A and B are shown apart, each in its own frame.
Chain A
Amino acid sequence: MLADAASEVLETMFFTEVLGPALGGEAEPEPRRDVRVAFAGTPSGALTLSVSGPAARTLAGNFLAPEQDDSLPPAQLDGVVCELANMICGSLLSRVETECRFRLSIPELAPANASHAFAPPCQSLDLGEGTIHLWLELDSHAN
């Protein structure tokens, strides 16, 4: 369901296809962008998205359609990655059959590679030009 939510958002608003699972181990010369969206409802939890440098540039270029593809400042790349996380989280929660209404937090950028170095991602997706990782955490006291 998480991969489906990500595919829906990536295809519809970023014109980008998920080619399949990302195979780990590739060298990453540039830092990734990590962003976290918490949600409250039944269940509560958080979605963390980590986007590689090349993927962030490609996605931001597709979304914002700038005159020149290399001209996007880092703040706009951050903004696009935050919005991507927000939409994947929303799309995921919209698929959950529940009477409860979810409340999403404002997406927050996390220090790159810091918060999730300890846990393998739930999903690693290959976008051709770069990869994204997704972590879904559910609060333990959830029903």
Chain B
Amino acid sequence: MAFRVLIVDDSSVMRAFIRRIILLSGMDGAEFMEASDGQEALGVLRNEWVDVVLTDINMPTMDGEQLVRSLAADELLKSVPVVIVSTDGTESRMHQMLALGARGYVKKPFLPETLRAELERVLGETYA
């Protein structure tokens, strides 16, 4: 089955930017699903198999922190690896999100290679 990525960001142009990086990273067979907030993301995750979630924090309706908390509390979904992609570059935020269960963290702005490296690291640790 194809490698399936869920990109969660309220900005459609940022979702497109992230999608392009993953395509250019040689993850040829990747299939993309998108959501514009945490609520939508949970809907996708409860109905579809997803290998990795990339999520923003600051979003309307349900933010990335609530999404990570919801996933951590869900027996079926807590093993899905989550990488945070956020403008919040403070150490305290990063530590908090990792403590809540996120596996990786990329601070915006980022170079394409930085996101690729973090994604590869998280996937390597999860599916090795």
> Quick one: which of A64, A80, A90 contacts B87, CB cutoff 8 A?
A90
Measured between beta carbons, the chain B residues less than 8 angstroms from A99 are: 92
Contact with B along A19-44 (1 / 0, CB 8 A): 00000000000000000000000000
Per the 8 Å Cβ criterion, residues 79-96 of A in contact with B are 79-80, 82-83, 86-87, 89-91, 93-94
Contact indicator A63/B13 (Cβ below 8 Å): yes
Q: Chain A: which residue is nearest B110 at the CB level?
A: A12
Measured between beta carbons, the chain A residues less than 8 angstroms from B87 are: 86-87, 89-91, 94, 104
The size of the chain A interface, using a CB distance under 8 A, is 26
A133–B107 Cα distance when bound, in Å, is: 24
Measured between beta carbons, the chain A residues less than 8 angstroms from B12 are: 76, 79
Measured between beta carbons, the chain A residues less than 8 angstroms from B92 are: 99, 101
Q: Chain A: which residue is nearest B11 at the CB level?
A: A83
Interface of B is mostly: loop
> Quick one: which of B10, B17, B20, B90 contacts A94, CB cutoff 8 A?
B90
Q: Chain B: which residue is nearest A104 at the CB level?
A: B58
Q: A12-B109, A13-B109 are in contact. Are A86 and B11 (CB under 8 A)?
A: yes
Q: Chain B: which residue is nearest A83 at the CB level?
A: B11
- A residues sitting closer than 8 Å to B (CB atoms) are 8-9, 12-13, 60, 63-65, 76, 79-80, 82-83, 86-87, 89-91, 93-94, 99, 101-104, 106
- B residues sitting closer than 8 Å to A (CB atoms) are 10-14, 16-17, 20, 58-60, 86-90, 92-93, 107-111
